[in-house]
Amino acid sequence: MIPEQLSTLSLALIKLRTNVVIKMYGYERRIFDWYSGTSTAGLAYTQVDAYNADTENWPHLGCQWPALSFVLKDLPREGTFVDLGSGKGKALLIAGMLAYERVVGVEIDCGLAAEARRNVENFRQRKRAGVIESVTASVVEWEVPDDSSIIFMHNPFFGETFKKAMANVFSSYDRNPREMHIVYMFPWEHEWLLSTGRVHVESVRSEGWPKLPQWWASEHVTVIYHITRENQSPTRCRSVQRSLSAAERKALRRWRTPSKHFFQVHA
């Protein structure tokens, strides 16, 4: 009887912690907008998302400030940071606090791209990057710059759109082989990405901070991939080599190979 009661208590504590963390995420969005003088919070449905049109685009929700900052501080900060499906531009602003030469977001929805440009304009006092810009374009047609070092995605699209966007990323790498990473939050197309033979999982972090309970076993992860030539062995990167927590080691074991994870999107 006692083990059963302990199990019930454990589940109740996990549920309580989850609810507290999710509430803190809401506070984070408001704090970021206050700090940056911008307006990035909220889930944004558009006329070109999967719920309103026959497309492969998800509605936009800005990423989490501390979580992305922790990831980027471990990676080399040079060349161009690219956000595919950049929405209102929150990731652009977070990257813009670091010393990238250029930070560029690509967004197909005109309204969201215009909001991103307003946010960039209001963000000038916090900017450390050389240039921050938001481009209105389809990721399928947009040519990835050949000095791009980071390709960031917060699960903006899926299916053929994702595959064509990644073909553009790989073409950029092939034109100019270099150290290049994909930072993919809520990695819906993880299985396909690994199947290309063009990437190796370098590390896995939580998608949010504070971290959800057992985040490594859920879809709420950020996977960092190192791009290589097709089926090339992993090469040594200049990423910060730090000791991994027990949770991060579990995450790396789970996501380094096809995870067969069942993703759920709550609209």
Residues with Cβ within 8 Å of 16's Cβ and at least 6 positions away in sequence, in order, are none
CATH number of the domain encompassing residue 171: 3.40.50.150
Question: Given this model, what pLDDT does residue 156 score?
Answer: 97
pLDDT in tens for each of the 267 residues of the chain? Answer: 456 655 676 677 778 888 999 999 999 999 999 999 999 999 999 888 888 888 899 999 999 999 999 999 999 999 999 999 999 999 999 999 999 999 999 999 999 999 999 999 999 888 999 999 999 999 999 999 999 999 999 999 999 999 999 999 999 999 999 999 999 999 999 999 999 999 999 999 999 999 999 999 999 999 999 999 998 887 778 787 788 999 999 999 999 998 778 787 665
20 in any annotated domain: no
Task: Provide the number of structural domains found in the chain.
Answer: 1
214 in any annotated domain: yes
Question: Given this model, what pLDDT does residue 3 score?
Answer: 61
Contact 221/255 with Cβ under 8 angstroms? Answer: yes
Q: Which amino acid is at 131?
A: V
Rounded CA-CA distance 83/30 in Å is 22
Q: Where are the beta strands (DSSP E) in the chain?
A: 80-84, 102-107, 131-136, 148-154, 181-185, 199-206, 221-227
Q: Domain containing 123: what range?
A: 36-255
Chain position carrying tokens 């791209």: 113
Question: Given this model, what pLDDT does residue 188 score?
Answer: 96
The sign of the dihedral angle between the CA atoms of 153, 156, 20, 13 is negative
Burial of 3 (0-12, 13-18, 19+ CB in 10 A): exposed
Residues with Cβ within 8 Å of 32's Cβ and at least 6 positions away in sequence, in order, are 38, 40, 41, 65, 90
**Model's pTM, two decimal places?**
0.94
165 in any annotated domain: yes
Question: Given this model, what pLDDT does residue 53 score?
Answer: 81
95 in any annotated domain: yes
Q: Which two tokens stand for residue 56?
A: 């492969």
232 in any annotated domain: yes
CA angle 195, 75, 107 (to 5 degrees): 65
> Would you call the peptide bond into 177 cis, given omega within 30 degrees of 0 as the criterion?
no
82 in any annotated domain: yes
Residues with Cβ within 8 Å of 100's Cβ and at least 6 positions away in sequence, in order, are 77, 78, 79, 80, 81, 129, 130, 149, 150
What SS3 state is found at 86?
A: coil
Question: Given this model, what pLDDT does residue 50 score?
Answer: 85
106 in any annotated domain: yes
- Residue 60 backbone dihedrals phi, psi, to 5 degrees: -95, 135
29 in any annotated domain: no
Question: Given this model, what pLDDT does residue 109 score?
Answer: 96
Residues with Cβ within 8 Å of 151's Cβ and at least 6 positions away in sequence, in order, are 82, 84, 144, 169, 180, 181, 182, 183
CA angle 223, 114, 134 (to 5 degrees): 45
